[in-house]
Homo-oligomer: A and B are copies of this chain.
């Protein structure tokens, strides 16, 4: 098991690299049916003449996969508890993509009101198998001090 990280273990510039996640058309459609039922996320044929020119995952599906990879690669003590995230989608993810996430600590702010914790700002880049940026998320998460 990976050693858990506390606030005092972290420093600006630290990088965390995730494992990989293979995305297929069935998963793209299943997510979209429930959460983003639009033609370009649901059906190859219907997607062809849209903005995306072919089946593309919902951006929120890319975000969810990113969280999966983030949880597996940033071992914060107490878990990943996010206050928010500024997400941008550079390009959609597609059937057959193999995604990975690189997360870099941009900033660490100890809490003034709660001395046992701080807010860590990380940039998480979601890359496909060609190393192309699909999503960038700048997120604020809690980190706790050792007792």
Contacts and interface: CB of A to CB of B under 8 A. Distances in A.
Contact of A63 (B39, B52, B60, B86): B60
Contacts of A84: 86-89
A142 B51 contact: yes
A5 B61 CA distance: 25
A60 B51 contact: no
B78 A51 contact: yes
Nearest to A59: B82
Contacts of A86: 84-87
Q: Give the number of copies in the complex.
A: 2
A133 to B, nearest CB: 13
A71 B39 contact: no
A12 interface: no
29 contacts: A31-B64, A34-B68, A35-B64, A35-B65, A35-B68, A36-B67, A36-B68, A36-B71, A37-B68, A37-B71, A50-B78, A51-B78, A51-B79, A51-B142, A52-B81, A60-B60, A60-B63, A60-B64, A63-B63, A64-B64, A82-B89, A83-B88, A83-B89, A84-B86, A84-B87, A84-B89, A85-B86, A86-B86, A86-B87
